Amino acid sequence: MPNGPDFSRSDKVKVVTADAAVANIKNGSRVFIGSGCGEPQHLIHAMVKDATIQDIMVFQMLSFTLDQYLKDTDFLERFALKLFFVSIPMQEAAFEGKIDYIPAYLSEIPHFFRSNQIGLDVALIQISPPDQFGFASLGISVDVTREAVRNAKLVIAQVNPRMPTTYGDGFIHVKNVDFLVYFEEELGEHGPEAQDPEITRRIARYVSELVDDGSTLQVGYGQLPYSVLPFLDNKKDLGVHTHMITDAFLPLLKNGVITNSVKNYMPDRAVATFCMGSREIYDYIDKNPSFYFGTADFVNNPGIVGQNDNFISISSALEVDLTGQVCSDKVDRMFFSGTGDQTNFIRGAALSRGGLSIIVLPSTSEDGTASRIVATLGEGAGLATLRADVNFVVTEYGIAQLQGKSIYQRVVELAQIAHPDFRASLIASAKRYRYIFADQLPPPAKDLIFIEEYKSRVHLKNNKVMAVQPLLPSDEIAFRNFFYSLKKETVSLRFFADIKTFSRKMAQSHWAQLDYRKNISLIGVVRNKGNKEIAAIGTYSGCGNRRAEVAFVVHDDFHNLGIAGFLLEMLEKIAADNGFKGFRATVLPENKSMLHVFNRRYPDAKQHMRGGEIEMVMDFGQ
């Protein structure tokens, strides 16, 4: 008998070698193998090495170890692989037809085992050494493994001292295991793939705008979502309710950014179903009571997810079409990943009070030759998330907000965050499909990352927070709604005329002439329940001699809150950075409030009357 932990007398007869254990696998068996970095590698190799084992159907969620056998014809004749997720090492094999992919939500897989929809004859798993009561931990792979153990006719467990003990639903008693194989080996490790650091930084910057202090995060499978995490280091009291824990969480955990202290559901616990990473994260979660590892049908259930207030789902995509449909598992004939539980977490976020969901993706393929914001999903593309479920989409060029938006608005939002080289063609395609009006102008074909420096936030005297940001094409409807919400007198004071309509064409012509250096419009946005509305607009436009014409309009409900003065200060800073030395303004004499704003900031302004209007010349730096 091999050396190992101190089992009870009745359980010692279960301790055997790997070869002896797998010899009990009968031909034609349906075998479940523990997933991801929790794979029982020693048992897998022993099973494959036993040439007497034939015609085996293997079910696995995330498979890595078996990849090394997929070029072996004998192996492929003996084993048929059924995978719920196509991991990166398995992508080529999936394309070549060497493995079979089962599209399914991870949260549904335990039900498949319970209902015998997927019957299991054998489960090969890996556990920690059992404690004095005979309980062992599934460690980093609770997910669907626990239910496989409960429903398999034969359970073979590799007992590995390097498997961490995790608290939650992952404990099993050795009496429920048929054979125990003591074998120590390092767990599988899963490191991040190289990401373009500049694209990652830019996407993370936009994501950070959407993540408030105290939010509870879910981060979807894929390198880009996890690459965003380090850039949230300025947040406070974040929580975690996700399917996978990786090393990317470690800096935020160790630096006190993730505390789970303000979570309303399962407070003080980071909730997950499995872990993949390095020995560092495995050691961190070992016997750590601040982590709770549950089964996929619990953790990934939208009803459970939605009980977390301020829940934010961050997941990735391969493509997003102009209507908001998301492809995340298949392009053309190639399966890239799996269904996972992206939709469950997105729907859970929709159920959460204060929750939201974010899809992140680079704007182009790695070589830059193809847009990942597409007019229509390609032939054979897998639809992972329905357009009605999608909330925010983020690329390195900005944020598109789709929830509650029409197809027309979605086209404008998504074209705006596409790579500049593809914006015009996307708008042209949308016109052909009758998604938008025939005279729709495309967003500017340039990189506007510099305007991120123009954004700011200010706390108003009425206790609201106003976000100040440059006007973009996607603000067209809000811009027009703002105009129509103004009083007649306010319109007359701003435009010197009784303007009754502000058409779509007028709004387009306004944003189309903005280059955000020589001329710019800033909008002040406040939240009204679930909607964001424009409270003010400030504009300057170059008029020669290094001066710019400046003008403001503040919504009647937001007068006397200091908004115009704040916008004037922001516009001055932007104008000065772009080489202007001062402003000009034309104001009606009865517009006392605007005259006060200008005179307060520029007490030495030059003023004179012309045609019943006051013309002002104001220099910066006074």
Phi, psi (rounded to 5 degrees) for 367: -90, 0
pLDDT for the residue numbered 1: 39
10-residue stretch averages of pLDDT, the chain, 622 residues long: 49 86 97 94 97 96 90 93 82 80 90 95 98 96 96 98 97 96 94 81 93 95 85 96 95 97 97 96 98 97 97 93 84 58 93 95 91 87 84 95 94 96 96 93 91 92 90 91 84 62 85 92 85 89 93 90 94 96 92 91 92 92 66
> Given this model, what pLDDT does residue 2 score?
45
Q: What are residue 279's phi and psi, to 5 degrees?
A: -60, -30
154: β partners = 122
Q: What contacts 384, CB < 8 A, 6 or more positions away?
A: 317, 326, 327, 328, 329, 339, 340, 342, 343
Q: Which residue reads 């025939």 in tokens? A: 438
Question: DSSP 3-state helix, strand, coil percentages of the chain (rounded to 5)?
Answer: 35, 25, 40
Mapping DSSP to helix (H, G, I), strand (E, B) and coil, where does residue 210 land?
Answer: helix
Angle at 564 between CA 589 and CA 528, to 5 degrees: 125
Looking at residue 101, what is its pLDDT?
85
> Which string of DSSP letters, residue by residue, matches 297-359?
HHHT-HHHHTTSTTEEEEEE-SEEETT--EE-SEETTEE-S--TTHHHHHHHHHHSTT-EEEE
Extract the tokens encoding 343.
């939709």
d(CA 140, CA 188): 11
Q: What structural domains and CATH numbers belong to the chain? A: 9-182 (3.40.1080.10), 197-432 (3.40.1080.20), 451-619 (3.40.630.30)
Name the residue with tokens 């779509």. Answer: 504
Cα 202 to chain centroid distance, Å, stands at: 14
Q: What is the pLDDT of residue 496?
A: 45
Predicted structure pTM score = 0.90
Which amino acid, 180? L
AA letter at 604: D
Query: Which uninterrupted H or E stretch holds 535?
Result: strand 531-544
For the beta carbon of residue 450, count every other beta carbon within 10 angstroms: 11
Taking each helix axis from N to C terminus, what angle separates 504-512 and 476-485, rounded to the nearest 10 degrees? 120
- C-alpha distances (whole Å) from 482 to each of 401, 443, 490, 525, 561 are 19, 21, 12, 11, 18
